[in-house]
Structure 1
Amino acid sequence: MGRDGHNTLAKAAFLIIVAACLVSVGYSGGTGMPPDDAGRVAEPLAGTAWNLIAFRADNGSVIASQNGAEPLIIFGESGTLTGSAGCNLYSATYRINGSAISVEPVVATAAYPASEQGLSQQESRYRELLVAAASYRVEGDELVISGPSGKELLVFLRAEQPESVPLLATTWQLTRYTTGGGSAVASPIPGTNVTLAFDPDGTLSGSAGCNAYSAPYRVNETGIAVERVIATKASCSEPAGIMEQEGAYLDLLRSAAGYRIVGGTLAVIDGNGRAILFYKAEP
């Protein structure tokens, strides 16, 4: 066999060895995922909302979340997730690559009812597990988040729009709003009542605490746009800070781009996917 023939055989052998190594890496790579997950395309999470139904406790067992205090997670379109940890509101940056997910440290409010030690422990564990996320999968209406070893950490149920609390025909009362450019969350000043109602004619209205306001709006299944907010011109001196709160609230309302309704809670979301206003349905 000539020199060219030997070279051809050598190249072929080299390619076979390389291919074998690649196959080996595909089965033993450092992701901790089983081989049949390698080519799986995960369902996109941006624009979805989920309620926690179970999580892994400190002792390794999987337990159900507290009834009536299930954490909520909303995945924004721009790499920011927000929600309620059961009592407190939180937000964090997240990244997704295929079925891999990573969550930056969570920023949250820090208010607990004095009698709710169990809720405090659940919230702390939930935030700890969320930051430990390494991969996810969606099975029907369930979202499962796993850690680096592949062990399941958090199990969520898809949050649907409840027919009993529609966006329209409901008066909403503000319970939380973001401050500091979205880096913190505050409650309305005691003694103020900030409300929001959507009329079928395409006009929203309410009380900003001191002044009444209204604006045209457009809405679809999960998106909303608010235009030309106008308000009366009264000036209130009490309680302290009411006018500053009112200005901040109306500015946030103008930046609304989406919404979610979970149970009796309405979350208004801005164009960056951050929940900026939280309301509860008035009785």
Structure 2
Amino acid sequence: MKKPRALAGTALTLLLPALAACGGSGPGAGTPDVPVAGTHWTIGAVTVDGVRSAAPSGALMDFTKDGRVQGTSGCNGFDAAVAVRGDALTVSDPTVTAMGCPDDRMRFEDALLRSLKGEITAKLKGGALSLTSADGRYRVELTAEPATPLLGTAWTVDALISGDTSTSLPAGSEGKARLVFGKDGRLTGSLGCNRVSAPAKAGGSTITLGAFETTRMICTPAQMDLETKLYDALDNPLTYRIEHRTLTVTDADGQGFTAKAG
């Protein structure tokens, strides 16, 4: 992936439903502050001058709890600071990654970024949110995104946990450990090098694993190091929690890992 590029002069003003109090004057004043922190949206489509373009798979928009808006158009990712004032969100000039994608995805990305400028009026109905520009030329369709289910999701390990400390993976092993807790009651995947399989029973906030079956390949030292650490962490009883698209698994000693969906 290339380094992010700055999009100069782009200010995103998003108007969302209001739920908490705010005062003052000017745009957004006199209406409740929007509690967007921790919300997650799937981008469904963008309409420009009456022409609707469905979003590619993976197009998302998240508002983090530390005052940022992040997401992906289905091609490049974007990231910016966000300030809330009444029913208006003012987003700083975003950084956008610079990957090349197929023409249809690049056209959608351009339409999305153009749609998220100026004043945008929001209408919320159930879990559907529409954002319409002041001149009516642009409309973005968003759908509230639920938490990712444990079962059936491909989880890619991205960090190791020891007590209250999270550490990065051994250099060179990133993206190598991928696990699926299947609906058939088995854990399958890789711990960094070898393919593994084991009975897995999930209930409440716990996971219980049976005996592992594994291949016997020799991989790079970094991959073998990661595999050893994950074997040590997968020691019953295991506790798990899911925060949207992030899975955290720890054993009774506080050893474990985090993993991202996809």
TM-score, normalised to structure 1, is 0.49
Counterpart position of 1:141: 127
Counterpart position of 1:121: 107
Unaligned runs of 5+ in 2: 1-24, 160-170, 182-199, 210-218
Counterpart position of 2:45: 54
1:95–1:87 Cα change, 3 Å: same
Pairs within 5 Å for 1:263-274: none
CA contact (8 A) 1:43 1:138 kept: no
**Local SS of the residue matching 1:82:** strand
Distance in 2 separating the partners of 1:98 and 1:87: 31
Shift of 1:120: 0.8
1:189–1:117 Cα change, 3 Å: farther
Pairs within 5 Å for 1:217-236: 217-219=239-241, 222=244, 228-229=254-255
1:61–1:193 Cα change, 3 Å: same
Distance in 1 separating the partners of 2:129 and 2:33: 11
Which structure has more relative contact order (CA 8 Å, sep 6+)? It is 2
Shift of 1:127: 2.4
User: 1 or 2, which has the higher helix percentage?
Assistant: 1
CA contact (8 A) 1:69 1:87 kept: no
Equivalent pairs counted in the alignment come to 183
Distance in 1 separating the partners of 2:140 and 2:94: 16
CA contact (8 A) 2:33 2:86 kept: yes
Amino acid at match of 1:219: R
The answer to whether structure 1 residue 45 and structure 2 residue 45 are counterparts is no
The answer to whether structure 1 residue 110 and structure 2 residue 98 are counterparts is yes
Unaligned runs of 5+ in 1: 1-28, 178-187, 231-249, 254-267, 269-276
**Percent of paired sites with the same residue:** 22
CA-atom RMSD in angstroms: 4.2
Shift of 1:106: 2.2
Amino acid at match of 1:64: S
Distance in 2 separating the partners of 1:140 and 1:41: 19
